[in-house]
C-alpha cells in the first residue's frame, strides 16, 4: 500500500494533491512526492519488506503508485556483487557493484518507468511518452506494450543502434529528432502542454523519479540492513543521484537502518559535465553545455536536477569527477575483464571516476563503496568495437589453431597490442 500523501514544491514548500502536476504554480519550482512518514514508521518493518516480491514493488509502501495494479515486467532486485578483483586494482578493500544491467530492458530506467507507467494508467492516460537519451526509450516502449498503452518515444537521431533496435522491437511510434537531447526535451515539453499524453520524465516526473529510490533500498537490504560509506553514481539530469540519497535517508528516518554518514559522489563524461563543472567551481550555478561524448545516455547539457545534485554533493561531502572518453572505454574494459560485467558507456564513466577518486585518496581504502552500474554494454557496442582483440581466424584443423595461437603469443610477447587493423594485415 502506498503511503504517498501529497506533492510538495521543492522551493517554496507548497502542497499539491497527487495529480499529474510537476511544477509549482507560484514559484515554478519542481514538485516532489511526500509521504506520511509517521504512519510508515508504525507499519513498515524489515520483515514486511522481506516478504515482498523480488522486484521494485517490494518497496511499494515507499512508492507513489498502487502496486496491485502495477505494470510490472520485473524491474529491480538486481545483484549487488562484492568485487575483489576490481577492488584490488583500484585499492579498495570493500567494493561492491550494483549491477543494474540485469533489468528487463538492461538499464536502471525500468525502475522509474514501472512506477511512472503504473501511475499514468491510474490517472487514466492511454498514451505513454518520453524524451529519451536512449535507455528510457527502451523501457517506455516495453512497459507501454505490457500495460496495453500507446507509446510515443522521442530520441535524438544520432543514437546508438542497440538503443534504437531495443526500443523499436516493442512497436512504439519512435520519433528520431534532428537535434541534441536538450532539444528533444524542449520539444517534448511543448508537446506535453498541447496533448493529453503521459510524458514519464516531464508531466509525471515527480512519480517517475521516485522509482530510483529503490536502488538505495535494495543496496541497504542486500548489505544486511546497512548503508554504504560511499556511493558513486553516474549523473545525467541528476535525478537518480538525488533519489539514491533520498532513499538512504528514508531508510534511516524509518529506523530500518542505523544512520551512517553516506558520501555521494557523482561522475560525468568530460564532454558533458555541467554538474561536475559547477561543483569544481564551488558554484550552484549550472552553465548548460553542448554535449560531445560517447556516453550518450549521460549527454544532458542542461540538467533538470543539477542544482539538487549539487546540494547532495555538498551535504553528503561527496566528490564530482569528470573523465575523458578514452577513460570511459578503459573503464568499460576494466570492469569486464576484472569482474565479468559488460556495462555500457555510463558504467565506464563510473569505473573511471572511481579509479580517479581512489587514486587521489578521496575514497579511503577501507570504506564500504558501492558503484552503481546503470546500463548494459551490448547497447553501446560502437564504443568498444574497434578497441577489442579480434578473434583468431583459423581453418578447421588442429595445425591451423596451433599456428595461430603461437603467432598470437609471439605478438603478445613482443609487446604488440593486438588490434583489428593489425589482424587484417595478416
Ligand atoms: C538515464 C541514465 C542515467 C542517469 O539518469 P539521471 O537523468 O541522472 O537520473 C544513468 N545511467 C544510465 C545508463 C542512464 O540511462
Ligand atoms: Zn513553489
| Shared-domain flag, residues 95 and 52 | no
Angle at 247 between CA 246 and CA 251, to 5 degrees: 115
- 210 CB-near residues (< 8 Å, 6+ apart): 33, 62, 63, 64, 112, 115, 243
Ligand nearest to the CA of 13: 2
pLDDT at 421 (0 to 100): 44
Question: What spacing in Å lies between the alpha carbon of 210 and ligand 2's midpoint?
Answer: 19
pLDDT at 311 (0 to 100): 98
Domain final position from 177, 208, 239: 208
| Shared-domain flag, residues 96 and 240 | yes
Below-50 pLDDT ranges, the chain: 420-426
**CB 236 less than 6 A from any atom of ligand 1:** yes
pLDDT at 418 (0 to 100): 65
| Shared-domain flag, residues 335 and 217 | yes
| Shared-domain flag, residues 249 and 329 | yes
Mean pLDDT of all residues belonging to the chain: 96
Ligand nearest to the CA of 210: 1
Question: What spacing in Å lies between the alpha carbon of 16 and ligand 2's midpoint?
Answer: 10
**CB 95 less than 6 A from any atom of ligand 1:** no
**For 280-329, how does the pLDDT look when each residue is reduced to its tens digit (9 = 90+)?**
999 999 999 999 999 999 999 999 999 999 999 999 999 999 999 999 99
Residue count (the chain): 426
Ligand nearest to the CA of 24: 2
Cβ atoms within 10 Å of 73's Cβ, excluding its own: 19
pLDDT at 419 (0 to 100): 58
| Shared-domain flag, residues 121 and 100 | no
Domains contained in the chain, number: 3
Best residue among 241, 264, 298 to mutate for probing ligand 1's pocket (most ligand atoms within 8 Å of CB) is 298
What b/e sequence results for 97-112 when a residue is b if at least 16 CB atoms lie within 10 Å of its CB, and e otherwise? bbbbbbbbbbbbbbbb
Best residue among 78, 103, 106, 107 to mutate for probing ligand 1's pocket (most ligand atoms within 8 Å of CB) is 107
| Shared-domain flag, residues 369 and 406 | no
Q: Whose CA is nearest to atom 5 of ligand 1?
A: 236
**CB 239 less than 6 A from any atom of ligand 1:** yes
Q: How far apart are the first and last CA of the chain?
A: 64
Class of residue 364 by CB neighbours under 10 A (exposed 0-12, middle 13-18, buried 19+):
middle
Question: What spacing in Å lies between the alpha carbon of 250 and ligand 1's midpoint?
Answer: 22
Question: What spacing in Å lies between the alpha carbon of 33 and ligand 1's midpoint?
Answer: 20
> What's the CATH code of the domain at 57?
3.40.50.1100
| Shared-domain flag, residues 222 and 242 | yes
| Residue carrying C-alpha cell 579480434 | 390
pLDDT at 163 (0 to 100): 96
Q: Whose CA is nearest to atom 7 of ligand 1?
A: 237
Enclosing domain of residue 409: 391-425
**For 200-250, how does the pLDDT look when each residue is reduced to its tens digit (9 = 90+)?**
999 999 999 999 999 999 999 999 999 999 999 999 999 999 999 999 999
Amino acid at each position: 500500500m502506498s503511503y504517498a500523501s501529497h506533492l510538495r514544491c521543492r522551493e517554496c514548500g507548497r502542497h499539491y494533491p497527487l495529480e499529474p502536476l510537476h511544477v509549482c504554480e507560484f514559484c515554478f519550482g519542481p514538485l516532489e512526492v511526500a509521504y506520511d512518514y509517521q504512519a510508515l514508521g508504525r507499519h513498515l518493518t524489515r520483515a514486511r519488506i522481506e516478504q515482498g516480491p523480488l522486484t521494485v514493488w517490494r518497496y511499494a509502501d515507499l512508492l507513489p503508485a498502487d502496486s496491485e495494479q502495477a505494470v510490472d515486467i520485473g524491474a529491480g532486485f538486481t545483484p549487488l556483487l562484492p568485487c575483489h578483483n576490481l577492488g584490488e586494482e583500484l585499492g579498495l578493500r570493500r567494493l561492491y557493484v550494483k549491477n543494474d544491467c540485469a533489468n528487463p530492458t538492461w538499464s536502471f530506467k525500468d525502475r522509474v518507468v514501472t512506477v511512472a507507467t503504473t501511475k499514468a494508467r491510474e490517472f487514466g492516460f492511454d498514451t505513454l511518452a518520453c524524451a529519451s537519451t536512449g535507455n528510457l526509450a527502451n523501457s517506455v516502449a516495453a512497459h507501454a506494450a505490457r500495460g496495453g498503452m500507446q507509446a510515443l518515444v522521442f530520441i535524438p537521431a544520432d543514437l546508438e543502434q542497440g538503443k534504437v533496435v531495443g526500443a523499436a522491437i516493442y512497436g512504439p511510434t519512435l520519433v528520431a529528432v534532428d537535434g541534441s537531447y536538450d532539444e528533444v526535451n524542449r520539444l517534448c515539453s511543448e508537446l506535453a502542454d498541447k496533448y493529453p499524453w503521459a510524458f514519464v520524465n516531464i508531466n509525471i516526473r515527480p512519480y517517475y523519479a521516485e522509482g530510483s529510490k529503490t536502488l538505495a533500498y535494495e543496496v541497504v537490504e542486500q548489505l544486511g540492513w546497512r548503508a554504504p560509506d560511499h556511493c558513486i553514481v553516474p549523473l545525467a539530469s541528476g535525478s537518480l543521484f538525488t533519489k539514491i540519497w533520498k532513499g538512504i535517508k528514508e531508510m534511516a528516518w524509518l529506523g530500518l537502518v542505523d544512520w551512517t554518514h553516506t558520501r555521494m559522489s557523482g561522475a560525468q563524461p568530460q564532454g558533458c559535465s555541467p554538474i561536475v563543472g559547477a561543483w569544481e567551481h564551488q558554484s550552484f550555478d549550472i552553465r548548460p553545455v553542448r554535449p560531445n561524448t560517447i556516453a550518450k545516455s549521460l549527454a544532458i547539457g542542461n540538467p533538470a536536477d543539477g542544482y539538487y545534485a549539487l546540494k547532495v554533493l555538498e551535504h553528503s561531502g561527496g566528490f564530482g569527477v569528470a573523465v575523458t572518453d578514452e577513460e570511459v572505454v578503459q573503464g568499460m574494459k576494466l570492469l569486464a575483464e576484472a569482474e565479468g560485467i559488460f556495462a555500457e558507456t555510463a558504467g565506464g564513466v563510473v569505473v573511471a571516476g572511481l579509479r580517479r577518486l581512489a587514486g587521489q585518496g578521496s575514497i579511503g581504502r577501507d570504506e564500504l563503496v558501492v558503484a552503481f552500474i546503470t546500463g548494459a554494454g551490448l547497447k553501446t557496442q560502437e564504443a568498444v568495437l574497434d578497441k577489442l582483440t579480434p578473434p583468431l581466424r583459423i581453418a578447421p584443423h588442429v595445425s591451423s589453431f596451433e599456428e595461430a595461437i603461437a603467432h598470437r603469443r609471439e605478438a603478445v610477447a613482443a609487446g604488440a597490442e593486438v588490434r583489428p587493423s593489425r589482424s587484417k594485415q595478416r
